[in-house]
Copies of this chain bind each other. A is one copy, B any other.
Amino acid sequence: MKTISENACFGGTQGVYAHNSDTCGCEMTFGLFLPEEAQDGPVPVLWYLSGLTCTHENAMTKAGAQTWAAEHGIALIFPDTSPRGDDVADDEAYDLGKGAGFYVNATQDPWAPHYQMWDYITEDLPRLIDANFAVDLERQGITGHSMGGHGALTMAMRLPGRYASVSAFAPIAHPSVSDWGRKQLSAYLGADESSWQAHDTTLLMREKGFDGPILIDQGGSDQFLDLLKPEALAEAMAERRQEGTFRMQKGYDHSYFFVSTFMEDHVAFHADALYGR
C-alpha cells in the first residue's frame, strides 16, 4: 500500500492510498478519512459508495461528509467505482465499464477478469484497511449515492450482521427493470435474469429486508427519477414493515448539492447505530 496524499482535515486526516488488489487484478485507489479520535484507538467506520462516472475522489471533495464524521468520531471510506488501468476492459458509454462497476462480481467476458467490485468492497478493501488503520470493523455502516446507494443497500441486505445501518441518497432502487441496471447486469452477469436478483434492492427488500434501520433520501426534482424507481423501493419497504425512513426532498436534484445538504442527517443516523444509541 502506498500513500498518495494526506491532508489535515477537521482535526483528523483525509488520506488517499493505492494498493495492488488481488481481487480486481489491478492497482486500486481509495480515500480514507480518520477523525482525531483514531489517534487514541479504533473508531467506527462509514462506507460511502459513489455513483456512475465517479472515482474515490468525488465524494471525498464534494459531499461534505468529513464535517459530520469528525463531529461523531467516525472514519469514512471512499472506494473507487471500478477497476482501473490500461489492461482493464472498458466501454465508450459513461454507464458501462470504468466508473460503472455496479458493485457486482462480473462473470462475463470481457469484464470478469477485473470487474469484481462486490468482493473488492466487502472483502479485499476491508482487510487492507483493518490491517493498516485504527478502525473497528465490528462497527460498520454503509451509505452511497445513486449506483453507490444500490451497492450499499444490496450489500447491507445480503451480508446480515455486517453493517449496523444502511442509508442511501437517490439509490438505483430497482435495476432489473430499469435502463440503469438491465444494461449493466446483462453485460456483467449475463442474460439469465435470475442472477440479477441478488443485485436488485427492491427484490432483496421484498425477499429479506435489513435487520437494522434504513434511511433513504430522494430528490423530488431528480432528473433520473424514471431510472431510479424510488416508488418500487418505498412500497417494498412499507410492505416488508422495514424499520426505516423514506424522505422525498422537494426541489432537490441528483447532484452532490443534494447529497451534501442531507449528509449531516445520514452521518448522525449511522452514528446512532454505530454507538448503539
Contacts of A233 in B (CB 8 A): 238
Known: A213-B250, A250-B213. A231 touches B239 (CB 8 A): yes
Within 8 A of B (CB), among A164-208: none
The answer to whether B237 and A241 have CB atoms under 8 Å apart is no
The answer to whether B238 and A242 have CB atoms under 8 Å apart is no
A250 interface neighbour in B232, B243, B247, B250, Cβ under 8 Å: B243
Contacts of A232 in B (CB 8 A): 235
Contacts of A220 in B (CB 8 A): 241-243
A238 interface neighbour in B213, B245, B248, B250, Cβ under 8 Å: B248
Q: Which residue of B lies closest to A235 (CB)?
A: B235
Contacts of A250 in B (CB 8 A): 213, 243
Nearest-Cβ distance from residue A258 to partner chain B, whole angstroms: 14
Expressed in whole angstroms, the Cα–Cα distance for A238 and B235 within the complex equals: 8
Within 8 A of B (CB), among A209-237: 213, 218, 220-221, 225, 230-237
Expressed in whole angstroms, the Cα–Cα distance for A238 and B238 within the complex equals: 12
Q: Which residue of B lies closest to A251 (CB)?
A: B243
Contacts of A73 in B (CB 8 A): none
Instruction: Kindly state whether residue A10 has any CB partner on chain B within 8 Å.
Output: no
Instruction: Kindly state whether residue A249 has any CB partner on chain B within 8 Å.
Output: yes
Contacts of A213 in B (CB 8 A): 250
Instruction: Kindly state whether residue A244 has any CB partner on chain B within 8 Å.
Output: yes
Expressed in whole angstroms, the Cα–Cα distance for A225 and B240 within the complex equals: 11
Contacts of A243 in B (CB 8 A): 220, 248-250
The answer to whether A238 and B231 have CB atoms under 8 Å apart is yes
Known: A225-B241, A234-B237. A246 touches B249 (CB 8 A): no
Task: Digitize A239-275: 1 where CB-to-B-CB distance is under 8 Å, 0 elsewhere.
Answer: 1011111111110000000000000000000000000
Q: Which residue of B lies closest to A217 (CB)?
A: B245
A247 interface neighbour in B221, B239, B244, Cβ under 8 Å: B244
* Chain A residues near B (Cβ < 8 Å): 213, 218, 220-221, 225, 230-239, 241-250
A-B contact pairs, 7 of them (CB 8 A): A213-B250, A231-B235, A234-B238, A235-B238, A238-B246, A243-B248, A244-B248
